[in-house]
């Protein structure tokens, strides 16, 4: 489980996803080594191709792909096989897939948590 500390936000996070396989990650959002209570928060993780404005894959607390752990400060992300199958894999050139995570507190304040790139591996 990775720890996300608020004074360093947003931070850069690059990841590798196997196309067509489940992708599961758990993070803890903390301040001064204490978990941030995420009760009343929502979250969205978006994936876009080459910095396109319109994402092609969105994981949210509303669609159940992200679960927030309340007082524990945990953020659990699960992309199923059908979700990762939507990620474009390399052809002759590896595409640039950008992703970013945004938390929204109960008052509507948005907290950009991270941004980064995603490398997709195609199973043989």
Question: What per-residue confidence (pLDDT) applies to 105?
Answer: 92
**pTM greater than 0.85 (yes/no):** yes
For the chain, what is the radius of gyration of the CA atoms? 15
The encoded tokens of residue 89 equal: 């894999």
Within 10 angstroms of residue 8's Cβ, the number of other Cβ atoms is 8
- What is the torsional sign of CA 77, 108, 54, 93? negative
Tokens coding 19: 């196309």
- Total domains in the chain come to 1
> Helix (H, G, I), strand (E, B), or coil: what is residue 8?
helix
Predicted confidence at residue 67, as pLDDT, reads 98
pLDDT in tens, 20-65: 999 999 999 988 889 999 999 999 999 988 767 788 899 999 999 9
Residue range 117-124: average pLDDT?
84
The domain in which residue 89 lies consists of 2-122
- The CATH number covering residue 74 comes to 2.60.40.10
pLDDT of residue 93: 64
Determine the pLDDT at residue 12: 86
Exposure letters 91-103 (e unless 16+ CB within 10 A, then b): eeeeeebbbbbbb
Q: What pLDDT score does 70 carry? A: 96
Burial level of 37, CB count in 10 A (0-12/13-18/19+)?
Answer: middle
pLDDT at 8 over 70: no
pLDDT band at 91 (very low <50, low <70, confident <90, very high): low
DSSP character for 50? T
């Amino acid at each position: 489980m990775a720890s996300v500390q608020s004074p360093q936000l947003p931070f850069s996070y690059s990841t590798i996803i196997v196309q067509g396989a489940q992708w599961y990650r758990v993070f803890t959002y903390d301040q001064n080594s204490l978990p941030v209570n995420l009760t009343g928060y929502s979250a969205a993780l978006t994936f876009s191709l080459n910095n396109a404005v319109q994402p092609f894959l969105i994981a949210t607390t509303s669609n159940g792909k992200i679960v927030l752990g309340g007082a524990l400060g945990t953020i659990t992300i699960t992309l199923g096989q059908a979700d990762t199958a939507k990620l474009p894999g390399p052809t002759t050139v590896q595409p640039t897939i950008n992703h970013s995570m945004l938390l929204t507190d109960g008052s509507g304040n948005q907290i950009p948590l991270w941004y980064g790139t995603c490398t997709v591996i195609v199973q043989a």
